[in-house]
A and B are shown apart, each in its own frame.
Chain A
């Protein structure tokens, strides 16, 4: 930790303590007002008619210090959260590099600073130059290094019509782009703005909690005031300082102090996942998702079909068949072709250029649906079963049965024809991402329904969905199907989360409660979504759901803890204020004999518990996906019962410690 950071956070803390800032948090505002009054009492005890012997003055000073620390710790926890999100926006700002752009004016180009560009300008970007502004490629193509924005180290090919992001670097060729944004409203600017706004604005849930806490605070304020009149009735003037301590102990300072920090921490944690959340609300919604729509390709499977096995036909030698497959795929540069060659290699087959001298390569085309090699009458062709049957008029029951079986397993069958006869079948499988099955079962443990959308046929979709344990799948799906699922679920008042990247996805993303857009997706998708994943990793949707739950749990747990604490404080402070009634000793369950030390102990507990809980507020409550009722039981035990018992023990210990240290007032 460097000093600069500490200093910055200290300044932030002080800023957060300003009355006009803290007033947004009624609990802490009241605490600060009490601090001011207690300072006043400490300085002018006579004015309030409270005892001013030196022991009492020491007590007043202790109260002043403890109240100050309460406000300070609260502001500090917020500052720590804010400091983090400031660091995140700072790191985004670093991407904004000011460069000179070559703007096309008439026949030539003019050099214009990137900050002076306007939407619609046509700009030429040369190799190794930074792209000055968000735009669309209108001429040429080239590889762009977007690692600073997306974290993806591989350069991306951009052709006409693709969007490019400002501050990324063109590493090959030369392109002409048309600016699609004014400076100040570019993608990065927007993201900085989003993070800032999301940190500032409070979610509906947070507002509800604040209203509730303010209500409680109001009750306690009135109750404390009534104690003043009750003591007046008993012919005594209550010590205002004691009443202030009672008030501060009773109002929910613990949750009140940490509430703002929890909200900002959620945004920060999402940002750490490299996701830009447009609002805190989206994160909270994520916690309550009922249905999650997943794409098969890219989310559940890697999205590349790979050869996993080769089945020779009856009467065909195994090695010979492997060799045929390798030969047929030797010139095939598609990913499938390469994987077939690799599979053959791993089975001990090696082929070289010499083996194929004179052979002609038939490339794959979407019309023919096959590829292979041929030399006069000698040929090896692989392709779709139907295409091969039509082309070569071959039929083979065994092969057809095999193909069917493979597609039942979710694979793709590629039969191979050698000189008019089926030689065998290659099985391609789209590999299920490692670990996805566990993630899906976690999601299902959270009682969330999973729906998979895939362009594959029924059989494949069913296979994959059974493999990873999904609830529902939509085969042969078109982008509109996703939208329909979202609408269907929304009509049933369910909360829907989905991932999207294409322009087609934009309507569904906009309708979904949580729409996570991939950064490599289209601008329309990114604008419609309420979160953008800079790494373009769709599985992160599940992390967001997890986070959403965690933030809600943290709030609920701390609120419960805070309210439960009040029981002990009543039992400590009330007998201390009315120590003159010996009959009240039956309320003094902790047997704290010195009233002022007892009150101080309660206030010390009240203050330091905030410090102890700051890590919990910033890091979130530990959460393991279990059933709702187990989770509820567990959290009631820890934060409810714990909240009742812990302060009793802690206050007694603090009291004993103070007495042992010789503090006697």
Chain B
């Protein structure tokens, strides 16, 4: 054995033995790879945000203008907030209505093979869920949907919701960037988002996933005759790779199979796991970095990157160590961490970084059963949801973090005796009002349903786990719906009319109400001219501001949930912890 071989052997042994170290390193590798790709994409997104031509424009320009001529719109027709938002809302509403009808009548439509179908409440929930980029699935059986529904409704809405979200962020950036008094044309923005960004990326990811072995077929089922049980299983196939690609690129998160990315046909190994992780991080992260380019202040983009990374790394390590330490008293001898509900091919570190990434963005995909996470692990995953997805979905991440930025600028400016301004635009009381409204909407949408549900005993009857875990599960459910995330912890029967309708309303409000506030801010900015600065006002790009932003997100976003976190997951954790102590004594 020469020295190099010995070295390799030593380190291989070290990483196998020291699983905590290798886990942390894997998590960091995931983040680094995602960051590199996001950095590359940020230049592309910056071009889109600046209304410049991109590498795809030559190919897509004709398509976009064809569609625009078809509906009689043009990018020169600038819309103010009211017009833009009305068009966005109506467009989404009709898409939702058609989708609802397709699902309700799917058995009378083509491509329906043994489809079970959905009751109205579930159909409503599903349509709203995919329309709002949430992708909560209150069903797990793929047989509930026909192939037509899968393709038209599920995949169609996945594109539509991502495109809508990104269009909103284009309008927002335009409101800040320009002073024309309008925030652009919704249909143009939507088409650009689809054709210049989402579709090309989806195609690239689809190809990668197909090569990685994910099915892409129109074949109906694989019939498995299980050896021991002598029972025939029909495993549905379909265009899984495409769906998987748009599911992640569009930060949608709703899987082809109910088990989502924990299902081998969706996510067979570490490579697809990494590809999927990168593909749902890439647009939100690149959008933040692109802001730095668009506003001519690269440090601003970098500051946002580190603020998000702070939460990302903190949550990931919290979840990882929560799962890694697990509940050792269950295994007094050899203990490998909490592998319950996890895919062995993926392991703890890759499961937790995936889950945290899915809740820090608004993806909500999962490659493990979150209900079997330890309380500590679930806190790590939950923080993203409670903060209303700090990295956000396609487009919405930019909108969400700007609400915190506006508030932080307001307080920081006051503290130095200046009137608040951002990107040299004065922040007036109107913008503060809307950003406050948008910041408080999320906690209200989470806490009010939680409080109501807890008071109704028959709703609490389907829970599997006892005690404080139920509070955690409810909190998770509503936080996921309100933040349009779609991550599911489960633990109870979510397919009840009450939860179907309630979640549906939460998703609608969490999406469109927030978007209305945020676009109203964009409109307010769009009439303002930038100030030619002599000296910088508050420097919104340095580390002090970054720390203030983090503090504001914790104090305003997270701390309000303190009592519920304490009485839910923390109580369970303390409970386990005491059990563990008891077992040791």
Chain A residues in the interface with B (C-beta under 8 A): 204-205, 207-209, 211-212, 215-216, 218-220, 222-223, 225-230, 232-234, 284-285, 287-288, 290-291, 447, 449, 492-495, 548-550, 552-553, 555-557, 559-560, 563-564, 566-567, 570, 574, 578, 581, 583-584, 586-587, 623, 628-629, 631-633, 635-636, 639-640
Contact = CB atoms under 8 A, between A and B. Distances in A.
Given A226-B450, A447-B535, A636-B415, A212 B570 contact: no
Nearest to A495: B419
B554 to A, nearest CB: 9
Pairs A-B, 10 closest by C-beta atoms:
A556-B414, A549-B417, A583-B574, A493-B531, A208-B429, A556-B415, A208-B432, A492-B532, A447-B535, A226-B451
Nearest to B570: A587
Given A492-B532, A567-B559, A232 B417 contact: no
Contacts of B556: 216, 563
B454 A229 contact: yes
Given A204-B429, A226-B564, A574-B562, A560 B411 contact: yes
Residue of B412, B414, B551, B556 with highest tally of chain A CB at under 10 A = B414
A628 B536 contact: yes
Given A216-B440, A570-B559, A628 B537 contact: yes
Nearest to B450: A226
Given A215-B436, A218-B444, A230-B471, A552 B414 contact: yes
Interface stretch (B102-110, B284-292, B538-546): B538-546
A212 B538 contact: no
B571 interface: yes
Contacts of A495: 419
Contact of A628 (B418, B428, B471, B530): B418
B584 interface: no
B417 A230 contact: no
B227 interface: no
Contacts of A291: 534
A555 B556 CA distance: 18
B559 A564 contact: no
A245 to B, nearest CB: 13
B180 interface: no
A233 B415 contact: no
25 contacts: A205-B414, A208-B429, A208-B432, A218-B440, A218-B444, A219-B440, A223-B561, A223-B563, A226-B450, A230-B564, A232-B454, A233-B470, A288-B417, A447-B535, A494-B534, A550-B417, A556-B417, A559-B414, A560-B411, A563-B555, A583-B578, A628-B416, A628-B536, A632-B538, A635-B415
Contacts of A556: 411-417
A586 B376 CA distance: 14
A47 B364 CA distance: 46
B417 A212 contact: no
Interface in B438-455: 439-440, 443-444, 447-448, 450-452, 454-455
Given A549-B417, A632-B416, A212 B436 contact: yes
Interface size class of B (residues with CB under 8 A): 35 or more
Contact of B417 (A204, A207, A234, A548): A548
A632 B415 contact: yes
A208 B566 contact: no
Contacts of A631: 415-417
Contact of B555 (A207, A227, A566, A587): A566
A570 B562 contact: yes
A494 B539 contact: no
A76 B433 CA distance: 28
Contacts of B225: none
B410 A284 contact: no
B544 A629 contact: yes
Contacts of B455: 229, 232-233
A552 B417 contact: yes
A550 B418 CA distance: 10
Given A287-B417, A574-B567, A586-B570, 11 more contacts: A223-B563, A226-B451, A230-B563, A233-B454, A493-B426, A494-B534, A552-B419, A555-B414, A557-B415, A578-B566, A629-B539
Interface core residue of A219, A229, A636 (most chain B CB under 10 Å): A219
A570 B562 CA distance: 7
A495 B407 CA distance: 22
The residue among B410, B413, B451, B578 with the most chain A CB atoms within 10 A of its own CB is: B451
Contacts of B414: 205, 209, 552-553, 555-557, 559
B297 to A, nearest CB: 16
Given A493-B532, A583-B571, A640 B551 contact: yes
Contact of A560 (B415, B564, B571): B415
Contacts of B416: 549, 553, 556, 628, 631-632, 635
Contact of A449 (B407, B424, B432, B534): B534
A215 B428 CA distance: 17
B237 interface: no
Contacts of A225: 451
A553 B532 contact: no
A205 B563 contact: no
B82 interface: no
Contact of A230 (B439, B454, B535, B537): B454
B437 interface: yes
Contacts of B447: 219, 222-223, 226
A227 B454 CA distance: 10
Contact of A583 (B417, B542, B555, B575): B575
B560 A219 contact: yes
Among B426, B529, B551, max chain A CB count under 10 A is at B551
B319 to A, nearest CB: 19
B105 to A, nearest CB: 40
B152 interface: no
Contacts of B566: 574, 578, 584, 587
Interface in B456-479: 460, 470-471
A208 B524 CA distance: 15
Contacts of B560: 219-220, 223
A445 to B, nearest CB: 11
A239 B562 CA distance: 19
Nearest to A577: B563
Contacts of A220: 560
B443 A287 contact: no
A285 B419 contact: yes
A451 to B, nearest CB: 11
A233 B563 CA distance: 14
A229 B452 CA distance: 7
A564 B551 CA distance: 9
Nearest to A578: B567
Contacts of B410: 208, 212
B439 A493 contact: no
A229 B567 CA distance: 12
Contacts of A623: 417
A578 B454 CA distance: 17
Interface in B397-411: 407, 410-411
